[in-house]
Amino acid sequence: MFFCQCAPVFPPFFLSRQPSGLCFLSVFPPPLPEMKEKNPWHTPATIIITVIGVIAIVALVTVAVLQNRPVLQKYKYGIVLDAGSSHTALYIYEWPAEKDNNTGRVEQKYSCKVKGKGISSYANTPEKAGESLNECMQESVKQVPKERHHETPLYLGATAGMRLLNLENSLASDKVFQAVEKALQGFPFSFQGARILSGQEEGAFGWVTVNYLDDRLKQGLETTGALDLGGASTQISFVSDNYDISESPSNSVTFRLYGNDYNLYTHSFLCYGKDQALLMALAHQTKSGPKTIVDPCFHPGYLEQKQYSVLYDSPCVSARKPQNPTTTFSHTGAGNFTQCQDVVKKVFNFTSCQYSRCSFNDVFQPPLQGTYGAFSAYYFVMDFLNLTDASTPLETVKQKLASYCATPWNQIVQQHPTIKVKYLSEYCFSGTYIVTLLTEGYNFTSESYANINFIKEIKGSDAGWTLGYMLNLTNMIPAEAPDLPPLPHAGYVSVVTITALLLFVLVILSLFCFCPGFKKQPHIV
């Protein structure tokens, strides 16, 4: 039975309309009614059909939208303190609360640079290490919604500065940790502890961060290597297909992420961060304890009185301290890139290698592969020198560095009045060190140098080990790919809406096709 204007169907059958408005199939033609013009839309049946159709469609679309609408977005948070050798930085990450189970994207919401030096510099006044964190921590209390405070994990990871202090004086290192733990426990977050990351962890988590932010892990794309240059250590991490783990198991980290297996090569060189490398280069030039050195890595006209005791106050150089040096020495600059490279090369050992291939210092390194993201001091230095453009050939980079190093010191100071003199004086050394480390140390060629991208952040989140560390500790990256709904919410609503509209059009068309009374034509009443 179908509600419609009754009309002949297939002769010899007829549809006859009863007073109730219903149609019945009959072999007798209905009686000829009077000829009368009538608006077909005004019949009760068509009105009922249209109303029911519209209500059904509105109901269908409303249910689809409401049922699958994302719940009013709520976020969860995690805080990581990166206690580096030169300074401490705080990062707050956030992710959608309902996607806690591995599918939501974690992003950096806020970062804060702790004033002063790294926590390892407070070895003699440990309580000040804790106090130094207060300002950034108080800001975090404002940044994270109050109702989330108690469930927000708070981690502190210390890197090479504390590794060195721990080697030098483990008691002092413990006291620094006690002080920072006490300070952090005083905040309303869920404090998960403060610890020293191993160099391997620092390298591997930096690699996870870069590839997570680039969406390479979830999509199973080819990964990018990670080059991290700090003040006291430097890390290189990449996936190499030609890598035999058994040759150097200590450089291997295996991951299963989103259903894919990764065999990562990683190595951290303690003392090869740019600050400690500078100390090593200076130590090399002052091993006889001279009163003056003419340093090719500093600008012509540079002159500074420096203390031997400060220069050799690090485990990276203490063993090389000259016998009976004077108290101070005059550090003067010569500004010569080629000679500076010769000095820098002296801090590496390229001669011994017990493996099939090495980077330097008898450390195994498989063949370089793919692209690389170079961050932290790699970025700070190359950005200052205007050398971050990946299209700049290695030869041009060297020429520009040579010209920069040869620029007189007073001219450099005039050109950069806002930059701290200490930083400014070291960019010639730092640029030369970076180029030498990459080419002579890691064996990047003129060709493969083009695969290095100097990056500070990816999609608004800083490149560094902190995000990877938190993702790991909160189990935010699943080993297996999570099951996702076949359609995203917007796609689902669109499909339902289009289907409903098509159904409506179909109903209207069938009324037109099979119910002649629906067409605008005279009706016989």
Ligand X SMILES: Nc1ccn([C@@H]2O[C@H](COP(=O)(O)OP(=O)(O)OP(=O)(O)O)[C@@H](O)[C@H]2O)c(=O)n1
The catalytic residue positions are 202
Q: How far is the CB of 239 from ligand X (least distance, A)?
A: 22
Q: Is 235 annotated as a binding residue?
A: yes
Annotated binding residue at 45? Answer: no
Annotated ligand binding at 7? The verdict is no
- 389 CB contacts (<8 Å, ≥6 apart)? none
Closest CB to ligand X among 84 and 130?
Answer: 84
The minimum distance between CB 269 and ligand X, in angstroms, equals 10
- The packing angle between helices 394-406 and 421-436, to 10°, is 150
Distance of alpha carbon 437 from the chain centroid: 24
The count of other CB atoms within 10 Å of the CB of residue 485 is 9
Residue nearest ligand X (C-beta atom): 84
Rounded Cα distance, 357 and 230, in Å = 25
Closest to ligand X by CB, 57 or 83: 83
In angstroms, the first-to-last Cα distance of the chain is: 22
Which tokens sit at 425?
């004086």
Angstrom CA distances, 271 to 232, 252, 319, 333, 347, stand at 5, 21, 13, 23, 10
Minimum gap (Å) between residue 423 Cβ and ligand X: 5
Minimum CB separation of residue 380 from ligand X in Å reads 4
What values do phi and psi take at 79, rounded to 5?
Answer: -120, 130
The Cα 79–Cα 189 span in angstroms is 9
Give the residue with the Cβ less far from ligand X, 160 or 438: 160
* DSSP states along 301-322: T-EEEEEHHHHT-STTTGGGPP
307 known ligand binder: no
Q: How many angstroms from the chain centroid is the CA of residue 345?
A: 32
Nearest distance from C-beta of residue 190 to ligand X, angstroms: 24
Interface residue list for ligand X (CB under 6 A) = 84-87, 118, 159-161, 230-233, 273-275, 376-377, 380-381, 423
Q: Return the number of other C-beta atoms located less than 10 Å from residue 418's C-beta.
A: 5
CA 438 vs CA 24, 62, 378, 446: distances in Å: 89, 59, 10, 11
The helix/strand/coil state of 221 is coil
CB 455 within 8 A of CB 463: yes
231 is in an annotated binding site: yes
Q: How far is the CB of 483 from ligand X (least distance, A)?
A: 38
Cα 139 to Cα 364: distance, rounded to the nearest angstrom:
44
What is the Cα Rg of the chain in Å? 36
Backbone phi and psi for residue 23, each to the nearest 5 degrees, phi listed first: -105, 140
- Residues contributing to the annotated binding site: 231-235
- Residues contributing to the annotated binding site for ATP: 231-235
